[in-house]
Structure 1
């Protein structure tokens, strides 16, 4: 419903003496606060707790994500590893192997990668979806096997495009 001509004329007469207030400026914008790394301390504390709590003799981690770093591996380097920013030079797929076969294949693969001076490799261990009620056998053991090797400086679950929680990036020294 639009206003009638009488209503428009009445409105014009009511506001004919109204003038804008002179000299009124917009208030100055508040300066934006400097950016803060809100979760940095928590991330650093979690990674430190993980590395200190890692027991090489334990059965292994059972959570979805795997991760470990030795004290000489700085947090920036570990973050690069987690983000997949270190070039993966080779990979091994342990699907379908028994635990004993997988461990032997893994150790042989890591020894060869060391001889070739590879800095980073990917180990595909799978998620254990066909392992039955016992859960993922190789995934539970992979962390312990990697931590027992002195040439393994760090490892973490891969990015989803590289296998996600069914694979790990391994940083070799």
Structure 2
């Protein structure tokens, strides 16, 4: 060992001579079980609130009244006019029928959301919503029809809709066209390859 190393060690011990080890009971408590539980419950409540909002994002505000005998319609940009015309004329097979008669607005909202989501998952392309004309509904005529018109625009799965033909309910019903489910696109690609 060189003289310099020896001096460094002596110097180190000289500096450290009055340092005492920390007693074992001087531990800092970083975990407060009650506080941790309260935080966990708070996070769970926030998560539940967010989940409830995500469970059905359809809004109840900003609905513009539609007259009972008006056509309601919507076509996402990029949807071919021929596809929209086929929907308007009721020429798509209606794989699902949803009747809102006797339901509250909240029940109708939940039914529309769950039906559209599950129909899309099953690969359904066209469905019929029977909302009625609501000529005598309160606080304004065509209440459910107006909400249906509002809600369908809020759903990404809906690419077009139009008031139904008289044989399917006329002004009291709406045809809805859903975008293809990714799985359905894959099935169609496979069919086209074989053909």
Partner secondary structure for residue 134 of structure 1? coil
1:164 is displaced (CA, Å) by 0.3
1:15-54 C-alpha deviation (Å, 9 max, x unpaired)? xxxxxxxxxxxxxxxxxxxxxxxxxxxxxxxxxxxxxxxx
1:73 aligns with 2:51: no
- 2:66 is aligned to 62
Q: Aligned partners of 1:58 and 1:156: how far apart in 2?
A: 20
**Change in CA separation of 1:162 and 1:150 when aligned onto 2, cut-off 3 Å:** same
Aligned residue number for residue 86 of structure 1: 92
**1:71 & 1:107 partners in 2: Cα distance?**
22
Mapped to 2, the partners of 1:80 and 1:155 lie a distance apart of 11
Quote the Cα distance in structure 1 between the aligned partners of 2:128 and 2:76: 18
> 2:50 is matched with which residue?
none
- CA RMSD of the aligned region, Å? 1.5
TM-score normalised per structure 2: 0.57
1:27-42 to 2 correspondences below 5 Å:
none
Q: Answer with 1 or 2: which has the greater Rg.
A: 2
5 Å-filtered alignment, 1:157-168, equals 157-168=163-174
Tell me the distance in 2 between the aligned counterparts of 1:73 and 1:61: 26
What residue ranges of structure 2 are gaps of 5+ in the alignment?
Answer: 1-60, 180-195
Alignment TM-score, normalising by the size of structure 1: 0.64
Using the alignment, how far apart are the partners of 2:107 and 2:153 within structure 1?
Answer: 18
CA distance in structure 2 between the aligned counterparts of 1:96 and 1:130, rounded to whole angstroms: 14
Which residue in 2 is equivalent to 1:22?
Answer: none
Whether the 8 Å CA contact 1:67–1:157 is kept in 2: the answer is yes
Structure 2 distance, partners of 1:153, 1:58, is 21
Moved over 3 A (4+): none
Contact 2:71 2:162 in 1 (8 A): yes
Aligned partners of 1:69 and 1:154 also within 8 Å: yes
1:155 matched residue in structure 2: 161
More helix by share: 2
**Cα distance in 2 for residues equivalent to 1:105 and 1:122:** 13
Deviation, 1:60, is 3.5
